Every structure is written in structure tokens, then in C-alpha cells.
Amino acid sequence: MDMTVYDYSALEFNGQKKSLKDFEGKVLLIVNTASQCFFKKQFKTLEILYKKYKDQGFEILAFPSNDFKEQEPLTGSNLETYCRIGQQVSFPVFKRIHVIGEYQDPLYRYLSDIKLNGQVDSNPMWNFHKYLVNRKGEVVDYYYSLTSPLSKKIHKRIEELL
């Protein structure tokens, strides 16, 4: 497996392409989000997790998606305002993408396919599915939507990688 998450990029709300290589050397938690989802309370717990570890080389990357029951109707500046002001998140949030299906973003194809990433075989089954990436850009674990960002399991794994 020669590919890592660093081989991918994402679109910021201003339309600029952001290389994930900019996060090289950090432990990443990549999560698909939705503003109308039952799990949207995880925005707050993700922010707590982010603040706890960000100074140690940890980053959360959020990818809004409307793939599950159209629970992300917002786009553009409305979506950015919801995340930044409504949910008060300070970690990077990118433009809305597809995380499953025919139009699945290449990053999510990599994250979810063991043939591409060598470690994890898990497509998001709902919003707030989380992928954990080590400092080398390799996917090392995943957590279903039900797993709280404040769970001991996630904290322990992040601390091991930091």
C-alpha cells in the first residue's frame, strides 16, 4: 500500500483545494457529518476531543454529506455558518461530499476499501462514521456513528498514536 491520506485533497468552503499533505505528521480523525442528524450532538463532543489533543498533533477533519436520508440539506456558506457559529467547531470542515455510492469522493473510497488502504474495510453506514489515521497517513481504525468521540476506546487509541 503506497497510498496514504496525504495523496488526497479536499475542497474548502472558499473553493480552494486543500491538500491533506498539509496535515502530514498528525493523527487524524476523519468524520462525515450532517446538520440534521440525530448524532449532530457529536459536533460538541468532537470539539472537546479536538481541544484535548490538538496541541499534541491531533486534527479532526469533517466532511459534511447528504448521503443518508438527506440529513445535510445545507451547502456553502450556510453550512459553514452552521458548523462554525451554530456548533462552534474550530477544526477543519470541508465542502459537502459523497461518502458512499457511485459518486463517492476518492478520499472516502480510499478510507473505506481495504484493497486501497491495507487495513480497514468499512463504508460509512450513517453520518458521524469515524476513521482514525496515524502520523504516517495510514488508516488504522474506524468507529461507527454510535461510538461517542468521548469514548475511552477512541481516547486510548489516539493517545497510543500520539
Please, is 72 exposed, middle or buried when counting C-beta atoms within 10 Å of its C-beta (0-12, 13-18, 19+)? buried
Is 66 part of a structural domain of the chain? yes
Is 20 part of a structural domain of the chain? no
Q: How far apart are CA 72 and CA 96, in angstroms?
A: 8
Is 17 part of a structural domain of the chain? no
Q: How many other C-beta atoms can be found within 10 angstroms of the C-beta atom of residue 136? A: 12
Which residues touch 84 (CB under 8 Å, ≥6 apart)?
A: 93
Domains identified in the chain, total number: 1
H runs (alpha helix) in 35-151: 42-53, 76-81, 106-112, 114-117
What CATH number should be reported for the domain holding residue 86?
3.40.30.10
How does pLDDT run across 61-96, given as a tens digit for each residue? 999 999 999 999 999 999 999 999 999 999 999 999
* Owning domain of residue 41: 5-12+26-161
pTM metric for this prediction: 0.97
* Active-site residue flag, 37: yes
| Confidence label for 125 from pLDDT (cuts 50, 70 and 90) | very high
- Closest among 84, 64, 48 to 158, alpha carbons compared: 48
Average confidence (pLDDT) over 125-154: 97
Task: Quote the percentage of the chain above a pLDDT of 70.
Answer: 99
SS3 breakdown of the chain: % helix, strand, coil, rounded to 5? 35, 20, 45
Is 19 part of a structural domain of the chain? no
The yes-or-no verdict on residue 5 having pLDDT over 70 is yes
| C-alpha distances out from residue 92 to 55, 97, 102, 103, 139, Å | 15, 14, 25, 22, 19
Q: In this structure, what C-alpha cell is assigned to residue 17?
A: 483545494
Is 108 part of a structural domain of the chain? yes
- Confidence (pLDDT) at 2: 82
- Confidence (pLDDT) at 1: 52
Is 21 part of a structural domain of the chain? no
Q: Which of 37, 60, 120, 139 is catalytic?
A: 37
Q: How far apart are CA 65 and CA 51, in angstroms?
A: 24
